[in-house]
Amino acid sequence: MKHFFFIFTLGSMLLFSCTRDKITPIDQQCNSTISFANEVLPIMEANCVSCHQPGNVSGGYDLSTYNAISENANAIIGSMKANGYQLMPIGGPALPDSTIQKISCWISQGKQDN
């Protein structure tokens, strides 16, 4: 009987932690305000700017400044999802869903320069 309770307790702890993991990562409702300076720009700099900046405007896109990113927001999200645009970063793999979601939220929150 002791063993049964031990396994039961361990099992429910495992089950509970897995359930929580599935809920936490993506903020589907965009509940928190996305910061351009602290979240959007670092994502762009880490994944896109090396090929999309003045002097290296691949495909004609400079994605290194607020104005450029704001004006090309639809192309950026389209390319991250391979939706109407070639998949970016070029050659893949696609960025994690949670990263793409941050850019989507920033757009739906009015592309603030915050």
Q: Footprint of ligand HEC on residues 33-52 (CB under 6 A)? A: 47-48, 50-52
- Contact region with ligand HEC (CB under 6 A), list: 5-13, 23-31, 74-82, 105-113: 74-82
Task: Rule CB under 6 A: choose which of 76, 102, 104, 106 binds ligand HEC.
Answer: 76
- CA dist 51 and 58 (Å) reads 6
* Residue/partner pairs of 79-87 with CB below 8 Å, 24 or more apart: 86/59
Terminus-to-terminus CA distance in the chain, angstroms?
A: 59
**Positions that interact with ligand HEC (CB under 6 A):** 47-48, 50-52, 58-59, 61, 63, 75-76, 79-80, 85-86, 88-90, 95
